[in-house]
Amino acid sequence: MTMGKYVRITDTSLRDGSHAIRHQFTVDQVTRAVKALDEAGVPMIEVTHGDGLAGSSINYGFSATNELELIEAACATAKRAKIAVLLLPGIGTIHDIKEAQKRGAKACRIATHCTEADISAQHIAATKELGMEAITFLMMSHMIEPKELLAQAKLMESYGADVVYVVDSAGAQTMDMVKARVTALREGLDPKTHVGFHAHNNLGLGVANAVVAVECGADNIDGSVRGLGAGAGNAATEAIVAVFNKMGIETGIDLYAVADLAEEFVGKELGLTPIVNRSSLIIGYAGVYSSFLLHAERAAKQFGVPAHKVLEEVGRRKAVGGQEDLVLQVAAELAAQGAGDGKAQEPALAGAAK
């Protein structure tokens, strides 16, 4: 069924992966990673703060380097790949999109909570007016039923979106859940509108879910080298390419080149290995926004409570992206209730920077 199909892979290591290193990428690191990804044939590379344009803040974490410098360096380096940026309405603005476009960005990925597509209209319109590709994200898509998700996707399509993504921000979806949501979009949207899927690996299903998404009609898939990303990380780009090669799905990417980058840059230089541990597993199980992991670990250390218990309670309260302050509140409440166990918290990523 999938033999001979082409799927566009976007590597998000330099955006979603920013969460894993607390937004500390340097110009040199971005330049070297983009050069390697571009030479490997990756067609689209996403570069921004983990929370998108203008994400550098006390709420989300400050970047070591102004993201516009990183975007400019990436655009100057890439010879074939498009450089994409992420924007969350309410964090970034149309002005930020314009500044990214001036520096060479060719696509803007506009992300909203899965029930709030209506706040993306002006950002999509501005992106199209600038001649950029408009790619839209419906985040935390496990929180609503496929029929509701389709209604939100149709809004984004009506505003001019070129691609609409089902985004498993919490890594909470089983393969059946992915099948239902991607199928709903593929069957319900105009055939000219592309459908994408963005996985997190909190339940260990990232690559499997990407395969299911393609089998159900998605033709845009996100990955990151060695899975570098929030929570337990994303579906690993090199694993996606290897599996797709075996399935006869075309990506145009050199497997060995991206595997080298994963090993040398993420593994050896950054010293990171995304893993499914207790806290990241609870993120997927409880349906928590993946980027809450480091916030929960900091709060757990501050208040002397288990990070996984903080995450479990945050999930019970159905928190969504933008409610990072709730993590601190929950940790304080658990401490007041005597929930501390005095045990050290496990790191989100093996070898993660302190």
In 3-state terms, what secondary structure has residue 196? strand
Q: What is the CATH number of the domain that holds 172?
A: 3.20.20.70
Angstrom distance (rounded) from CA 342 to CA 354 = 19
Residue 221, domain extent: 8-269
The amino acid sitting at 76 is A
Residue 2: phi and psi, rounded to 5, are: -100, -10
Answer yes or no: do 321 and 230 share one domain: no
Angstrom distance (rounded) from CA 197 to CA 253 = 18
Answer yes or no: do 222 and 336 share one domain: no
Q: What is the CATH number of the domain that holds 314?
A: 1.10.8.60
Answer yes or no: do 248 and 295 share one domain: no
- Of 238, 269, 300, which residue is a domain's last? 269
Angstrom distance (rounded) from CA 227 to CA 238 = 9
Q: Total structural domains in the chain?
A: 2
User: Does some domain include residue 351?
Assistant: no
Answer yes or no: do 203 and 66 share one domain: yes
User: Does some domain include residue 145?
Assistant: yes
| pTM, full prediction | 0.89
Determine whether 19 is an active site residue. yes
User: Does some domain include residue 122?
Assistant: yes
The residue behind tokens 């590379």 is 45
User: Does some domain include residue 1?
Assistant: no
Note the helical H segments in 137-277. Answer: 146-158, 175-188, 206-215, 237-247, 255-261
Answer yes or no: do 44 and 160 share one domain: yes
Answer yes or no: do 108 and 159 share one domain: yes
User: Does some domain include residue 147?
Assistant: yes
Choice among 19, 49, 142, 200 that is catalytic = 19
Answer yes or no: do 300 and 162 share one domain: no
Answer yes or no: do 56 and 172 share one domain: yes
User: Does some domain include residue 60?
Assistant: yes
User: Does some domain include residue 305?
Assistant: yes
> Mind listing the pLDDT tens digit of every residue in the chain (354 residues)?
566 799 999 999 999 999 999 999 999 999 999 999 999 999 999 999 999 999 999 878 899 999 999 999 999 999 999 999 999 999 999 999 999 999 999 999 999 999 999 999 999 999 999 999 999 999 999 999 999 999 999 999 999 999 999 999 999 999 999 999 999 999 999 999 999 999 999 999 999 999 999 999 999 999 999 999 998 999 999 999 999 999 999 999 999 999 999 999 999 999 988 899 888 888 888 888 787 877 888 888 888 998 888 888 887 888 777 777 788 888 888 888 886 654 444 444 433 433
User: Does some domain include residue 275?
Assistant: no
Answer yes or no: do 18 and 66 share one domain: yes
